[in-house]
Structure 1
């Protein structure tokens, strides 16, 4: 028997919280990746979902841990546990009309939900050959810090914030 790492424990909690919502019909999980990079000894877990099968807003939760995070946990005498944890990124994808006021309103809504101490970045792409004014937007929310195993209960509450964000973002379609 082995002692699971903080990454594994957080992954299981996050996965359980989302699959409970999927089974309950609140969300529809559309993709999942659990990757290990053997060259760099890093881990990435991604789960993608929508609010419903035909929702215009897609969300991906990305949990990442690198060798430094693993070493800090397994060899605490070397780093005093300073880096034992994982990084969490939330990625939303959606389409909407390309208007500056929409970009600003989205920023305001997400800042209201997530707080001003999170990094919220909007990235826009479009096909310049099409006459449409519609854009594809990717919005990332980063926590600017390591998520520690002590904060594992926060992952359950975070799902509510994510669903609130999806509902607000749907209003911009």
Structure 2
């Protein structure tokens, strides 16, 4: 039997918390990825979901947990200062389809900064087809935490789901 890594423990707790909300009817899980990259010996777990009470098919969230070789080795081999390397990178992404309107971009930014705080790295990346003259774009707004999340903070990950739900509700008003 092996001792699960921080990545394994965080993944199981987050997955369980989100699926509990799916079973309760609050959230709808729309995609799940649990990847092992053998080329660079990293692991990635992604869970995408939306609000069940939403009538917006153009808005969903994705919670991603990643651990690279350095993170896994620091924990398993207890190398060097494992307290600074043993952990995971957590990213929250919100996928939205909306009009290509500068006001909407600023409103999205404002919502994300109000809920997640100014010390987080918040970024919006837009996909547009320049050949088609559509008025809508696909926006991926991400929130990054600028540090590793360690196993001692596993409770913060479940609390984070409340912030994601709140953000989805606020973004619904922005992308009407």
Shorter-chain TM-score: what band?
A: over 0.9
Shift of 1:76: 1.9
8 Å CA contact retained: 1:96, 1:172: no
RMSD over aligned CA atoms reads 1.4
8 Å CA contact retained: 2:127, 2:137: yes
Distance 1:89 1:80 in 2: 21
Name which of 133, 158, 164 aligns with 1:156. Answer: 158
1:78 — aligned with what? Answer: 80
Aligned ranges 1:20-35 → 2 under 5 Å = 20-35=20-35
Name which of 76, 96, 103 aligns with 1:101. Answer: 103
1:10 — aligned with what? Answer: 10
Q: Deviations over 1:110-150 (max 9, x none)?
A: 10000011111011122233333211111111001000101
SS of residue paired to 1:48: strand
8 Å CA contact retained: 1:91, 1:140: yes
Please tell me whether residue 87 in structure 1 is matched to residue 100 in structure 2: no
Moved over 6 A (4+): none
Shift of 1:54: 4.9
1:46 — aligned with what? Answer: 46
Structure 1: any 5+ residue segments left out of the alignment?
A: none
SS of residue paired to 1:60: strand
TM-score (norm 2): 0.93
8 Å CA contact retained: 2:11, 2:45: yes
Q: Deviations over 1:39-92 (max 9, x none)?
A: 221100011111127533111111000010011111224334320000001111
Length, aligned pairs only: 173
8 Å CA contact retained: 1:93, 1:137: yes
SS of residue paired to 2:93: strand
Distance 1:124 1:20 in 2: 32
Shift of 1:37: 1.2
8 Å CA contact retained: 1:97, 1:135: yes
